[in-house]
Chains A and B, each alone.
Chain A
Amino acid sequence: MSDSTTSRVSLTLGSTIESVDTVEQTAQEFAERAGFDEDTIPNIAMAVREAAVNAVIHGNTYDPNKQITASFETNSDSLVVRITDQGSGLDPNAVPDPLAPENILRGSGRGIFLIKAFMDEVHFRQLHPGTELTLIKHRAPAQPPA
């Protein structure tokens, strides 16, 4: 049985900053349609933006011959966003902790941290080549009738 509330969009985009903006805007629209509150929507959009930034900069290193994909799906339980790149792969365990005192004044390295801070689940998968990030935000459970 299909879920009438499910909607999906998949985008294939070049490795550019404009693509990052497109992915962010699409995330914002999906989060709004999914009914997240006004504080959560920009956080979702930011997390997805950071994932797209990683894909374009660190994954594909702006290579015009490589693409990123972004798929968005809302269902009755959650918003699921998957971002892939065609880079050499990302080891999330190798990313320095941006909150560590020795890293606190670094000018970069906070993207993964913000993604994890704003989403309920974040999964990394190696694609050989490339990386897939899956970002999940659960919808708040419906309030029982009074």
Chain B
Amino acid sequence: MSMKVATRQVDGVTILDLSGRITLGEGSVTLRDAVHDVLAKGSKKILLNLDEISYIDSSGIGELVSGFTSVRNAGGELKLLNLTKKVHDLLQITKLYTVFDIWDNEASAISAYK
């Protein structure tokens, strides 16, 4: 199962609802393209909703990190929403949990953007 992306706007924040697998190849490329598309359109407040991400591998983790740094380098903010237990555990053991700004409530996450 490949990854799918649905995009919506809420109060100036672009929310990417991701579903499927973020893995080497198609999934990672889809995520990279989606983040770059949002940046290219001038939106710098990006919220990745991972609620329906069933699986992520090291390439997917790397793509989350690359997206985070790309948005930050563009002067924006990328936050994560609704981590599954699996993704949560992976970010914990890779010490990335404290790098990302992570939320489990969409309204609170949106309010947290400067």
Closest approach, in angstroms, between the C-beta of A58 and any C-beta of chain B?
A: 12
Q: Is B7 an interface residue (CB 8 A)?
A: no
Complex CA distance for A50 and B59, rounded to whole angstroms:
9
* B96: A residues at CB distance < 8 A: 104
Main secondary structure of the interface of A (DSSP, over half): helix
B58 touches A42 (CB 8 A): no
Q: Is A20 an interface residue (CB 8 A)?
A: yes
Q: Is A139 an interface residue (CB 8 A)?
A: no
Q: Interface centre among B25, B57, B96, B99, by most A CB within 10 Å? A: B57
A50 touches B66 (CB 8 A): no
B94 touches A49 (CB 8 A): no
Residue of A nearest to B62 (CB): A107
With A99-B94, A113-B94 as contacts: A53 and B62 at CB distance below 8 Å: no
* B9: A residues at CB distance < 8 A: none
Complex CA distance for A109 and B93, rounded to whole angstroms:
14
Complex CA distance for A50 and B62, rounded to whole angstroms:
13
A98 touches B57 (CB 8 A): no
Residue of A nearest to B32 (CB): A107
Q: Is B35 an interface residue (CB 8 A)?
A: no
B95 touches A104 (CB 8 A): yes
A108 touches B24 (CB 8 A): no
B62 touches A108 (CB 8 A): yes
Interface residues of A in 100-129 (CB under 8 A from B): 104-111, 113-114, 117
Complex CA distance for A77 and B12, rounded to whole angstroms:
56
* B58: A residues at CB distance < 8 A: 50, 53, 108, 110-111, 113-114
